[in-house]
Amino acid sequence: MKNYLRNDLVDLVPYAEEEKILAKYKLDTNESPWDIPSRVREALVKEIMDGSNFNRYPDSNSTLLREAIGEYCNVSSKQVVVGSGSDELIQMLVTAFIDKGDTVVFPTPSFSMYKIFTLIAGGRPVEIPLGIDFKYNVEDIKSAICKYDPKLVFLCSPNNPTGNIIGTNDVLEIAQNFDGIVVVDEAYGEFTQKSTINLIDKCPNIIVLKTFSKALGLAGLRIGYSISTPALAKQISKVKPPYNINSFSQKAAIITLENLDIVKKRVYEILKQREFLYQALINIPGIKVYPSEANFLLIHVPNGDSTWQKLIEKGILVRNFSQNPYLKNCLRVTIGDQIANQALVDALKEIMEE
């Protein structure tokens, strides 16, 4: 069959979820270990039974959801743009601001979609390696900005898959000395309680990305959002697809924000379990554990592929990054509930003793 793909995309490696593997404990994609709270489900059922209007198109502007997000983040709803997960927001930003040949700078290892969407847009991706133990090096980023003159700089904090953050003052320094746009991806921000949203008033070139998929536990409903100045939000909205968030997802997100007491309890439990898992794993010979401020831990093992396969055989699925040149023999482990975390510890002890 004739290849109709653009020539510059022939060699593009798309994001591909690993083949579905059934496992008793799913610790590979950084989701919440708990389903939507019963209180939220009951409210959603009532909404549906009272008349859902699913025969009508959803509110294309997600007006009520943006107002709820604005209240949650202490910003104006005019600063909020809602997308189908952070992925769509990243694509929208690249589509809005990157012309063919423009440069986009981002750290590596980090979230793969920065590179993929840049290539799809015809932009030029420039990856800046993180430092020792995957720490951000602000001078390297500033040097890259001077050298490559990018239009966009992506900073993931906490960084996926390494779990470390970039300091607020470092973001401020980068943004104040750059006339392009700095995008701070805070998909895991609720687990660290640190945010750069308050920098937007000082630096109108900062855009913050957040999501309902992680701490708020709605990964299956695909809701992400950006926070920026109202002027930048207007520019981003020019490329937003119409009706991009379905009515059910909008309502579920609003009700979730009305039940933040449950979200906060769950975040607290994940942080407690993260500490338990970190302390348990650092005491297993052969395993190096990197400190994390997200809902996952990155670990280094003697043989990543073999350890990953043996964990699957024990009913535990984690993310294998061994094929990444910066993450040789590294596995990323989502923080699960107490039972799943203990099962992982017991399994890794057995594997490391073999």
pLDDT score for 201: 94
Q: Where in the chain is the domain with CATH 3.90.1150.10?
A: 20-36+261-353
pLDDT < 70: residue spans in the chain: 16-19
pLDDT tens-digit series, residues 239-289: 999 999 999 999 999 999 999 999 999 999 999 999 999 999 999 999 999
**pLDDT averaged over every residue in the chain:** 95
Highest CATH level, class, for 38-258: alpha beta
- Give me the residue label for tokens 């997308």: 83
Does the reported pTM lie above 0.85? yes
Token look-up 């549906």 returns 48
Amino acid type, 111: F
Intervals of CATH 3.40.640.10 along the chain = 38-258
* Residue labelled with tokens 């057995």: 350
What's the pLDDT at 19? 65
Residues 6 or more apart whose Cβ sits within 8 Å of residue 148: 103, 105, 124, 126
Would you give the end-to-end CA distance of the chain in angstroms?
Answer: 49
CATH number of 20-36+261-353: 3.90.1150.10
Residue-level pLDDT at 12? 83
pLDDT in tens, 26-59: 999 999 999 999 999 999 999 888 877 888 999 9
pLDDT at 18: 61
